[in-house]
Chains A and B, each alone.
Chain A
Amino acid sequence: MKSKNQLEIFKIQNKIKMIEFLKQPWAWYVAGPLIGLTVPALLILGNKTFGISSSLRHLCALCIPANIPFFKYDWKKEVWNLFFVLGIFLGGAIAIHFLGNPDPIIVHPKLSAELATYGITNYNHLLPEDIINWQSLFTLKGFLIMVVGGFLVGFGTRYAGGCTSGHTIMGLSNLQLPSLIASICFMVGGFLMANFILPFILSL
């Protein structure tokens, strides 16, 4: 009888350990392969090629096609993509509520030293709440980061014909040269912004 109780306690302890483990930030070698498996999962579930930025186009085709040829197609055929991004939204909510990491994000000391000079000191969320919040939306800095930044993401991904998922992961998985070119350009643009332009925006 005693040993049965001990077994129960052991099981519960293991369960707690498991949840504690899942609440920690996941390592790249766990997350990367899981993301890579999305490619065959979508192909095998229904002959769908992985890509997320297209959802923005389908939303345009659905809401405001405005007789623009680029948005005149049967978006209902691509509605699976909207289910997928709705899932990403729900997954984000589930991860924060049930598997949320209670500790602040740990970043490279050089980055935190740099960000401190711009008044960014809050590491409790995935995003810097010091600059990304409703109040700062109406300041020049906030407008540039949220509104202009978002516009560049939407315009650039469609102009490039895909984003990190469509080009870098799906395109490279299928060994497409145009996707390699696009991915290199994503990185070049990112390096330019993060190292040379963003410091000016953050110091506004």
Chain B
Amino acid sequence: MQQNIENNKDHDMRSTDAMCINESQLEHKWYHKMKYLVLGILFGIVFVKAEIVSWFRIQEMFRLQSFHMYGVIGSAVAVGIVSVWLIKKFNIKTIYGEAITISPKQFNKGQIFGGLIFGLGWAITGACPGPLFAQIGAGTSVVIITLLSAIAGTWVYGYFREKLPH
């Protein structure tokens, strides 16, 4: 019982201000994680080949000069909506037979303030967090500095979190 409460607390903490959390209660050996590495590799290849990680494509998007990025994001969301709907409708389970759960998101003002701040950064660097990793892989080594700075930004947010309006 005590163990359960501790587990829930940890899950609550991890899911605070986070979209991506591990909902699974199962524990596996480390090599089970390799499937996420493979998925990440495929994802990274698409990122670079569709030039989603290109600073130029982001500039075009925010100047309404190209449909490319809107097409990418729009069709990704459409496929995502249908997939999540199908998973819920047919009660599809994970490959380990676990029920799939997605926690709903609570509204707070952080989504507005933080969203605007991230938008400013996105248009300067031409990258959201995912593309930062792909840009380094694609050979622009100086992006390591941008990534370290993004990690620092996350840390500073954590430090001042209680004092910020939410």
Contact = CB atoms under 8 A, between A and B. Distances in A.
B78 to A, nearest CB: 7
Contacts of B41: 87-88, 90-91, 94
Contact of A126 (B23, B54, B60): B54
B109 to A, nearest CB: 9
Contact of B79 (A32, A91, A152): A32
Which residue, B45, B59, B69, has most C-beta atoms of chain A within 10 A?
B45
B5 interface: no
A33 B76 contact: yes
A168 B22 CA distance: 19
For chain B, which range describes its interface: under 10, 10 to 19, 20 to 34, or 35 or more residues? Answer: 35 or more
Contacts, number: 562
B48 A161 contact: no
A32 B71 contact: yes
A189 B128 CA distance: 13
Interface string B27-41: 000001111111111
Contact of B124 (A43, A90, A144, A170): A144
Interface of B: 10, 13-14, 16-24, 26, 32-63, 65-81, 83-84, 86-87, 92, 94-96, 98, 100-108, 110-130, 132-143, 145-159, 161, 164
